[in-house]
Structure 1
Amino acid sequence: MVVLASWVWALAACFSAAMAKISNNSTPYPPLWEDSPKQLSDYRMEGGKHIINPWVFTDRMGMYRILLNETSMYFARYGPENEQNLLWGLPLQFGWQYQTGRLADPSEMIGNGTEPEESLYVSVNSWWADVNYYLSVLPFLAAVDSGIMELSPNQITILPPPKDQMRFCYDVSGCQSAFPETMERWRDFFQYMQLPSSDFDGLLEKLWYAHALSLEYPINAFVDRYDLYSDQEANFEKNWPIAVYYLGAAHLPTTLNRAHSFQRGLPPQVLDDTSIAPFIPDFTPLQNKVLVTLNLLGDIDRLSGALSLTLWENLMSTKFARELFLQAFEMFLELSPKDLKSFVNCEQLPLATSN
Structure 2
Amino acid sequence: MLRPLFLSFLLACAVSLSSSAVFLENGMPILWAQTAGQVTDLPTQNGILTPDPWNFLHRMSLYRLMIAATDPYMGSMGTNATDSPLWGLPLQFGWMRNSGRLADPTGATTCGLQTGDTMCVSTQSWWGCVTYFVSVLPFLSAVKQGFMGAGVQVQMQIPEGVQDYCTTYESCAASYPDAMSKWDAFFQGLKAAAESPLPENEKKDSLLGLFWAAEMASTYASAACNSRQSHYSSSEVSFQNSWLNSAEYVAAAHFQSNLQNSALFISPLPSRILQVNDNAPNIADLSSEENHTLYVFSWMDSVNSLLGGTLVRMWRSAMCSVNTREKGRQMLEQLLLDPTFATQTFLSIITGMTSSC
TM above 0.5, one fold? Answer: yes
What is the root-mean-square deviation in Å for CA atoms of aligned residues? 2.8
SS of structure 1 residue aligned to 2:50: strand
Matched length: 327
Q: 1:222 to 1:332 in 2, by over 3 A?
A: closer
Structure 2: gaps of 5 or more residues: 1-7, 353-357
Which residue is 1:201 aligned to?
Answer: 205
Q: Does 1:164 align with 2:162?
A: yes
Task: Please show how residues 1-355 of structure 1 align to structure 2 within 5 Å.
Answer: 22=13, 24=17, 27-76=26-75, 78-108=77-107, 115=114, 119-153=118-152, 155-165=153-163, 167-195=164-192, 196-197=195-196, 199-219=203-223, 221-328=224-331, 340-343=338-341, 346=342, 349=345, 352=348, 355=352
1:137-161 CA-to-partner distances (Å, cap 9, x unmatched) read 00001111112222335x3221113
Query: C-alpha displacement at 1:28, in angstroms?
Result: 3.9
Q: Could you give the per-residue CA deviations for residues 80-106 of structure 1, whole angstroms, max 9, x where no partner exists? A: 442111111111111111111100001
**Aligned position for 1:6:** none
Q: Structure 1 counterpart of 2:100, which letter? A: G
Cα offset for 1:76? Answer: 3.8
- 3-state DSSP class of the match of 2:49? strand
CA distance in 2, matches of 1:201, 1:210: 14
Percent identical residues: 31
Mapped contact 1:277–1:288 kept (Cα < 8 A): yes
TM-score by length of 2: 0.83
> Aligned-pair distance for 1:342?
2.3
Maintained 8 Å contact 2:296/2:335: no
1:303 CA displacement: 2.3
Which residue matches 1:7?
Answer: none
Q: Distance in 1 between matches of 2:180 and 2:307?
A: 30
TM-score by length of 1: 0.84
Amino acid at match of 2:315: W
Say if 1:86 and 1:204, in contact at 8 Å, map to a contact too.
Answer: yes
Question: 1:49-72 deviations in whole A, cap 9, x for unaligned?
Answer: 222000000000000000011011
Deviation at 1:201, TM superposition (A): 0.6
CA distance in 2, matches of 1:129, 1:37: 20
Rounded Cα–Cα distance in structure 2 between residues aligned with 1:320 and 1:79 = 18
Question: Whose RCO is larger (CA < 8 A, sep 6+)?
Answer: 1
Distance verdict in 2 for CA 1:350–1:63, change over 3 Å: closer
Is the CA contact 1:67–1:140 (under 8 Å) kept in the aligned structure 2?
yes
Taking structure 1 as reference, are residues 191 and 38 closer, same or farther at Cα in structure 2, changes over 3 Å only?
Answer: same
**8 Å Cα contact 1:100-1:270 kept in structure 2:** yes
Long gaps (5+) in structure 1: 1-16
In structure 2, distance between residues paired with 1:117 and 1:265: 27
Cα 1:268/1:116, change in 2 over 3 Å:
farther
